[in-house]
Amino acid sequence: MSGRLLRIHGLVQGVGFRPYVWRLANELGLVGWVRNDGAGVTVAVDGEKVPEFMRRLRLEIPPLARIDGMVAEPAEVAGSGFAILDSVAGAVRTTIGPDAAICPACIADICNPAGRRWRHAFATCTHCGPRFTVSRRIPYDRAYTSLAPFPLCPACAAEYADPADRRFHAETTCCPDCGPHLTLLDTHRRPLPGDPLAAALALLRAGCIVALKGLGGFHLACDARNAEAVAELRRRKQREEKPFAVMGLNEAAFAGLAQVGEGERTLLRTAAAPIVLCRKGARELPGIAPGLAWLGVMLPATPLHLLLWHEAAGRPVGTDWLRERHDLLLVMTSANPHGEPLVTANDEALARLDGIADAFLMHDRDIVIRCDDSVLRAGPAFIRRARGYVPVPILLAEDGPTVLALGGYLKNTVCVMKGREAFLSQHVGGLDNAAAIGFLEETVAHLRAILDVRPDIVAHDLHPDFPSTHLALRLAGELGVPALAVGHHQAHIGSICAEHAVNEPIVGLAIDGVGLGPDGGLWGGELLRVAGAQCQRLGHLQPLRLPGGERAAREPWRMAVAALHGAGLGYRITNWLKKTWPERDAGPLLTMLARDLRCPPTTSLGRWFDAAAGMLGLRAESRYEGQAAMELEGRAAAFGIVPPLAGGWRIERGVLDFSPMLSVLLDCEDASYGAALFHATLAAGLAEWTLAAVDGQKQAKIAVGGGCAMNAVLMSALCGHLEMAEATLIEACQAPPNDGGLALGQAWVARRMFEEM
């Protein structure tokens, strides 16, 4: 038999894969057919050029497709010509792809005044556009998306039915005659006169704040070059210092403001179109990212966003204008007032953003599920995994029972582990209000619906009071399945094991803020040996006291006092405080510490960062989570590499103590040098501590995870030390190393716990 039957799985449905196969087969004069089925795509093909077909099949796939596996077997292929067959009845379970940035072909369409989609804010095809955020359930058909209320016009229907057209079976395709429509409303819900895009741009240029409806929710936008507009946005949103992201037309727009290297450029141009953190340039935009060394930049991901720049450029014809530099820069920040979930619905936006936005640029296509912008560093390394990456699965080495993991409290995400794939949800965020908890429940329901799963296990954090734990226990009860608690820091290491297919025992360095340990303590700087469900604590950081409990985590000066007191340097506190924070009184704290009143101990590495930031005079209070550590990292990055402080740490009985360097930090006149010295000493101490645990084993793999693993300066130095010792640092690549990847690790560990039950 000269024919071949190919069974292909991966991201091969809803991405134009069948018409791609059809075109390739016809080009090569082959006969056969292609169809979707429950496992992916099946192709039957015969003819003289079958070898060339199979060679090219992987090389020329559509931009959003991914082949994870292909099995070929001999087959009889009858008939003439090549056809696209109907999907296998009753078996199809199409994978819903992530939202994708507008493709070059659709950009050309919206810039062509002779075409049907001139300035159409909803242009899309099989290579781009919304998917995850408009899908209610599977299969991925128009009837189950928020495009269902928009029947295709005859012209769009013809494109949809033509295998030679890139809009063949593009479920979100539409045109101005049959698709959603834009409107610009004022704060009284009245339509503003004129073209919505032109009027919105005029308001932005006049210093107003405009709410724009994006793919996964609303953005709040203002002119990033207008310091008064930026300050007003901060005041209205009650976001005092947390950094904003900035959108520009192309990389040239950020010249002088951000250092866009090849790695950053590659990320910006991907179909995911995330926010990318770049080192700041020589010039700074006032009020955008105060005190930080990095600026979050992004390019327009949707036709709606791109058309603002098209309008600013004077509605040029063609696409040459896209390579020119345009001065328009817009703040694009998530429209989530008061720390609540992202705003998605029109009525919700008009109500919840009242008093924040001056106008609302919106449309009548529903957003089914919230999905914030993804944030990455070049590497790539995820800071936040959401739009453009969800629900792309993380491939696993092994099969196993289906697990639903509910994550933690901060930076919450949910994970469904099904077969040899792990589906990590979009960023949910902190679960500190009722609306956020409601969003968590929505996320769980939506993820289960689009994956069509009933879990065998529900996993959760050890902390009994987390809302995610409460939901996990309730769901497990309703489903009649086990609920398994997973240690916070074991889950951090488990997340890395899951994506790197680590099945053997491994030494893990969990460097974090605070998480509940199995002994009930507040862990966060742990040396662990993880072997599947088993986790052994090999060592920990020298504990620091938290005077005032959680308040100490928000006030670095308190952590500085606690660290100095614990190191036996209490006699220096008074003079240091008078010089650095004269308005602060250490008396009550010293009394609390002396009497051990409301001063719980923690092994958290994050609190050492806070202590250093307070000691060096960088920050007395943090306005948002991680601010002190981020500013300390920024100072270190700006200063450059310095050698570690000799004798700046000690290791006794598995406990790593950085107290010996505190007196040197106190004497630092240059806070930036002190920050660089602190990072260098941490990295050297952590490396020595960790290498001792692998007992000098060559080629040893060491997993490093947790919130502090997001610190680029620390991780670069730590990696260098381990490589010199011929050890390999493995870190999170497909999920954030912080609590955003916790659910993945919970699911990985829970599978192994279940197998041992």
Which CATH number do you get for residue 18? 3.30.70.100
Residue 588 carries which side chain, given as an amino acid letter? P
pLDDT of residue 593: 95
At how many degrees (to 10) do helices 556-566 and 587-595 cross? Answer: 50
Asked if residue 408 lies in contact with residue 462, where contact means CB atoms within 8 angstroms, the answer is no
209 and 343 part of one domain = yes
Q: Has residue 233 been placed in a domain?
A: yes
Q: Has residue 417 been placed in a domain?
A: yes
Q: Has residue 341 been placed in a domain?
A: yes
Structure tokens at 56: 């090219």
Res 182 pLDDT > 60:
yes
Q: What percentage of the chain reaches a pLDDT higher than 90?
A: 91
491 and 452 part of one domain = yes
* Residues in Cβ contact with 669 at an 8 Å cutoff, skipping those fewer than 6 apart: none
Strands 82-84 and 330-334: unpaired
| DSSP label of 651 | E
The span from the CA of 362 to the CA of 343, in Å, is 12
pLDDT of residue 93: 54
The model's confidence at residue 613, banded by pLDDT at 50, 70 and 90, is very high
SS3 content of the chain, % helix, strand, coil (to 5): 35, 20, 45
340 and 465 part of one domain = no
The span from the CA of 6 to the CA of 19, in Å, is 16
The span from the CA of 208 to the CA of 196, in Å, is 15
The span from the CA of 221 to the CA of 329, in Å, is 10
304 and 436 part of one domain = no
Q: Has residue 530 been placed in a domain?
A: no
The span from the CA of 272 to the CA of 543, in Å, is 41
Q: What is the pLDDT of residues 515-563, one digit of tens each?
A: 999 999 999 999 999 999 999 999 999 999 999 999 999 999 999 999 9
pLDDT of residue 91: 47
- Please give the backbone phi and psi of residue 57, each rounded to the nearest 5 degrees, phi first: -55, -45
CATH code, domain with 608:
3.30.420.40
Q: Has residue 506 been placed in a domain?
A: no
Q: What percentage of the chain reaches a pLDDT higher than 70?
A: 99
Q: Which residues pair with 100 in a beta bridge?
A: 129
435 and 552 part of one domain = no
458 and 574 part of one domain = no
Sheet holding 82-84, edge to edge: 66-75, 3-11, 40-46, 31-37, 82-84
Q: Last residue of a domain, which of 84, 107, 139? A: 84
Asked if residue 172 lies in contact with residue 124, where contact means CB atoms within 8 angstroms, the answer is yes
The span from the CA of 24 to the CA of 18, in Å, is 10
The model's confidence at residue 609, banded by pLDDT at 50, 70 and 90, is very high
Q: Has residue 509 been placed in a domain?
A: no
CATH code, domain with 483:
3.30.420.360
Q: What is the pLDDT of residues 561-608, one digit of tens each?
A: 999 999 999 999 999 999 999 999 999 999 999 999 999 999 999 999
The model's confidence at residue 89, banded by pLDDT at 50, 70 and 90, is low
Render 417-484 in DSSP notation, one character per residue: EETTEEEEPPP-B---SHHHHHHHHHHHHHHHHHHT---SEEEEES-TT-HHHHHHHHHHHHHT--EE
* Residues in Cβ contact with 82 at an 8 Å cutoff, skipping those fewer than 6 apart: 22, 25, 26, 30, 31, 32, 33, 34, 45
Q: Has residue 502 been placed in a domain?
A: no
The model's confidence at residue 92, banded by pLDDT at 50, 70 and 90, is very low
Residue with tokens 């090999």: 538
Res 90 pLDDT > 70:
no
HSE value, Cβ hemisphere, 13 Å, CA-based, for 699 = 0
Tally of structural domains, the chain: 4
Q: What is the pLDDT of residues 649-694, one digit of tens each?
A: 999 999 999 999 999 999 999 999 999 999 999 999 999 999 999 9
Higher-confidence residue: 756 or 717?
717
Q: What's the chain's average pLDDT?
A: 95
* Residue of 414, 410, 408 whose CA lies nearest to 442: 414
Q: Last residue of a domain, which of 349, 375, 401? A: 375
Q: Has residue 103 been placed in a domain?
A: no
Q: Which residues pair with 359 in a beta bridge?
A: 186, 210
Burial class (CB in 10 A: 0-12, 13-18, 19+), 262: exposed
Summary count for the chain: helices (H), strands (E): 22, 31
Residue with tokens 């040029």: 316
Res 10 pLDDT > 90:
no
435 and 549 part of one domain = no
Res 503 pLDDT > 60:
yes
pLDDT of residue 94: 56
In the predicted model, what is the mean pLDDT of residues 465-480?
98
189 and 277 part of one domain = yes
276 and 411 part of one domain = no
436 and 341 part of one domain = no
The reply to whether omega before 455 is within 30° of 0 (cis) is no
The span from the CA of 288 to the CA of 298, in Å, is 14
Structure tokens at 553: 């985590």
Res 474 pLDDT > 70:
yes
Structural domain range at position 30: 3-84
Q: Last residue of a domain, which of 84, 119, 149? A: 84
Q: What is the pLDDT of residues 270-305, one digit of tens each?
A: 999 999 999 999 999 999 999 999 999 999 999 999
555 and 453 part of one domain = no
Q: How far is CA 347 from CA 135, 184, 351, 360, 535, in A?
A: 20, 13, 6, 11, 49
Q: What is the pLDDT of residues 349-395, one digit of tens each?
A: 999 999 999 999 999 999 999 999 999 999 889 999 999 999 999 99
397 and 443 part of one domain = yes
Asked if residue 745 lies in contact with residue 752, where contact means CB atoms within 8 angstroms, the answer is no
